A and B are shown apart, each in its own frame.
Chain A
């Protein structure tokens, strides 16, 4: 896939909306990257869906401005408002919202045949293949599982070659098994299609896996917007707290030991060992390290089963849940998080600047 048009002026998405709803008001002003996945993250009721619907043009009131990679879709001050069906976007709703009277093939065709030939950039076969729908084409929506339906909905949106893909918690209505079924497809989407995606979520693990850029929303307002791994580890933000807090690092595989089912990767903080034999030397991987899997020692431990030990400097400490403290670490330029009890943090006399060793008990390759 090629970018829309390199000469199309300002790249990126500029969105600002101000609107009062019954129980809260949306007031956001965002500049987002024009490519990659941007996650919109926040608790329920924070306005994530309202923001997405405003961007799609499904909500209209108050004042708004929206331009996508140089094209103005809405500028209420200038009286510009493209109706939904004239915005070249794709929208995946929380529930698949397939047309019950059409089989899968005709659902996929619905949007596609309304897009002029010259604007088709995503071949339908690619969308079908990407989401594994080959065997479902003749089925009616009522006979599909929740995960299958959601995959059809995503392919249906992709088939219109949108210049902006909006996804409103596409996995929220699914159980864990179905989520696990779809997430790899979404990752392939991210890797293979060059199309900006706005992805609404309240699941930190989805955000960590999929998003390059992150917008934190609370009570209709933006509390932070920036690169995902930066925001995930900023101790002043809620994402860096609680059980799911994690850091994500990029590593390049440097050695594989099939006999041990291990791969080893290099990152700025040192060498990291992964229990994953299917990686190849030279491959770039995203690795998630959860704060609760990291412990700290003042001296490098020997005679330990822990393989991943990195020298690091404490950058900040912040109270977490009662009795626990979140420690921000700098390991050769990579940010890590460690969640300790307050008691052990005190025993080690941790302060910003303390030099420590981070012992990592578990890592997960995100793909």
Chain B
């Protein structure tokens, strides 16, 4: 069914998507909270930056990341001085690229959910002796649980399907940076259509099932937190 190279690419892809999703939930939560609450003028620019990957060709993003994180780029200089080496063409580099690329798919649902919760539950929690941090974990996150599910699934699924960034800054190193989309591309280049079909078809079915689950299992997710 799947040859070894394909299986290796599949495993790497899942690892990349899982890592990226975890990082995104950690980074995206405070970022989304800040975007939902701030009155700073920076809200617009930062919101636009987060949304950029929605419209920017991934190749463009990948190109700039390659330049920034390469041996002569400012980020590359920094990582080298810290003894981390350079990130392009490594798994860590792929994670950084994927995090940026899938950022809006995690931050935007969280931000919308945080905004929908409004001021009142936070005020009620404060009058019931809950500190702001306590309130975040005991009120905000539980109320935003549907959004967390959406964010995690979308972040994961979107990362699984990325291609342009990986090709630009990850290259095509088997077991290290060769993810599924790149593997499909390789199969097609080599005219191995059968293998390409297995992977492409699998990706198609996976993506559809993910979205189906989101739309069917959470019919009430657009409902605001009432009461």
Contacts and interface: CB of A to CB of B under 8 A. Distances in A.
Given A114-B130, A160-B129, A142 B124 contact: no
A312 to B, nearest CB: 46
Nearest to B129: A114
A58 to B, nearest CB: 6
B123 interface: yes
Contact of A97 (B121, B131, B134): B121
A97 B142 contact: no
Contacts of B142: 101-102
B227 A149 contact: yes
B130 A110 contact: yes
A102 B125 CA distance: 13
Interface of B: prevailing SS: helix
Given A99-B139, A101-B142, A101-B143, A85 B120 contact: no
Most buried by B among A83, A86, A114: A114
A83 B125 CA distance: 12
B127 interface: yes
Given A93-B120, A99-B139, A101-B143, A160 B128 contact: yes
Given A100-B225, A100-B227, A95 B127 contact: no
Contacts, number: 75
Interface residues of A, number: 29
Nearest to B142: A101
B227 A156 contact: no
Interface in B91-130: 120-121, 123-130
Contacts of B138: 110
Nearest to A58: B123
B127 to A, nearest CB: 4
Contacts of B125: 85, 99, 110
Given A97-B121, A100-B143, A101-B142, A89 B127 contact: yes
Nearest to B118: A97
A297 to B, nearest CB: 53
A84 interface: yes
Contacts of A56: 127
Most B Cβ at <10 Å: residue of A84, A111, A115, A157: A84
Contacts of A111: 127-129
A84 B227 contact: no
Given A101-B145, A141-B227, 11 more contacts: A97-B120, A97-B121, A99-B124, A99-B139, A101-B139, A101-B143, A110-B125, A110-B130, A110-B138, A114-B134, A157-B128
15 contacts: A58-B127, A85-B126, A85-B127, A85-B128, A85-B134, A91-B127, A97-B227, A98-B227, A99-B139, A100-B225, A142-B226, A142-B227, A144-B227, A157-B128, A160-B129
Interface of B: 120-121, 123-132, 134, 138-139, 142-143, 145, 225-227
Interface of A: 56, 58, 83-86, 89-91, 93, 95-102, 110-111, 114-115, 141-142, 144, 149, 156-157, 160
